[in-house]
Amino acid sequence: MKRLTGFQPTGNLHLGNLLGAMRPLVRDQQEVGSIAMIADLHAMTMEHDPQVLRQKTLEVATLLLAAGVDPKRTPLIAHSQIPEHTELHYLLECVCHFGEAARMIQFKEKSAAHSPGFSAPSEGPGAGGKQSAPVRLSLLSYPVLMAADILVHDVHQVPVGEDQNQHLELARTLATRFNARYGETFVVPEGVRPESAARIMDLADPSAKMSKSARSSAGRIGLLDPPELIRRTISRAVTDTVGVVRHDPENQPGVTNLLAILAECTGEAPGAYTSYGALKRDVTDAVEALLAPIRKRYAELSDDPGYVREILAEGKAAVRPAALATVRRARGAIGLLD
């Protein structure tokens, strides 16, 4: 079974990324063959700064290593360094319908957020004069690129959160359609939800998930945040006026989130608490105990910037032969000269 887990270098990796994706990846890497991908091309679907993109790509790679990704078991790759991703992307665009891409909820949400008043694509992207910022065509086509990322590596399983379900379905549709029309070429991937993968909510708005791209950083714990900032973020976490510490996602989402973070960080069920303050102090200690060694390892790895680039080159060398073979199969099937 081969898996692929992607991380977009769109901002600072946070506690949600660690508990929901990085730790399951590290924990399962003995038994499951995974590829860890820094999705730099996906980070270009919205307005971006070239310097920041390069810096974040290296930062995310370094943090994955610092959190325990073993590059000998888990090839660590930068999306753009493997051109077969983009080559297969085009072939898959030729089996994807415009309507299928346009239906993607993330496209609708992000295009609307980026350009208030934008109501494409049924009226034609860029047609109206209302939008305040252009929506990149890559925002529309990126789920097809994501399908290419998955299919090119013959991935069997993709760990997905709810926000990615629709994209995984598209990858399955495109693989199935291509196979039916042009002959067996791709593995049709399955979505898996690692059982222990937690979904961590924003500390300032527990109705939203903690996210790199949330406008405010008030509810986010960055993996490289200094201890003092972490303490402040947790002490300001939104709770409620109930005054009882208990697991109640419906009525006490903030407290429930803190309890979940505590349980995830310590690996134990939380004890009884008589005050929110005491709970927050223990959450702070538990988060600090988890992040301190990662920060330390990150600092060590950052002393030698060449090292991470070498690891990425090794990851590329490890996955490329199979990716080339898949593209060759697809090219042949769809009618291109070899």
Cβ at position 338, least distance to ligand ATP in Å: 36
Which of residues 199, 281, 297, 309 is near ligand ATP by CB under 6 A?
199
Q: Kindly indicate which of the ranges 69-77, 109-117, 197-205, 275-283 contains the residues binding ligand ATP, using the contact rule CB under 6 A.
A: 197-205
- CA distances, 24 to each of 17, 123, 297 (Å): 10, 42, 19
**What's the token pair of residue 183?**
């002959």
Q: Could you tell me which of 275, 269, 265, 271 has the C-alpha nearest to residue 245?
A: 275
- Determine which residue in the list 165, 176, 196, 213 makes contact with ligand ATP, applying CB under 6 A: 213
Residues of this chain, 122-181, that bind ligand ATP according to CB under 6 A? 161
Task: Give the residue numbers marked as catalytic.
Answer: 110, 209, 212
Interface with ligand ATP, residue 56, by CB under 6 A: no
Which string of b and e fits 272-307 if b means at least 16 CB within 10 Å?
ebeebeebbebbbebbeebbeebbebbeebeeeeee
Nearer to ligand ATP, 59 or 330 (CB): 59
Give the burial class of 155: count Cβ atoms within 10 A of its Cβ; 0-12 exposed, 13-18 middle, 19 or more buried: buried
Q: Does 17 bind ligand ATP (CB under 6 A)?
A: yes
DSSP strands (E only) in the chain = 2-7, 33-38, 76-78, 157-159, 190-192
Nearer to ligand ATP by Cβ, of 17 and 185: the residue is: 17
Q: Which of 3, 10, 40, 231 binds ligand ATP (CB under 6 A)?
A: 10
From the list 4, 12, 21, 234, which residue makes contact with ligand ATP (rule: CB under 6 A)? Answer: 21
- The only residue of 67, 200, 203, 258 in contact with ligand ATP, by rule CB under 6 A: 200
Contact 265, 291 (CB under 8 A): no
Provide the binding-site residues for ligand ATP, judged by CB under 6 A: 5, 7-8, 10, 16-17, 20-21, 161, 198-200, 209-213
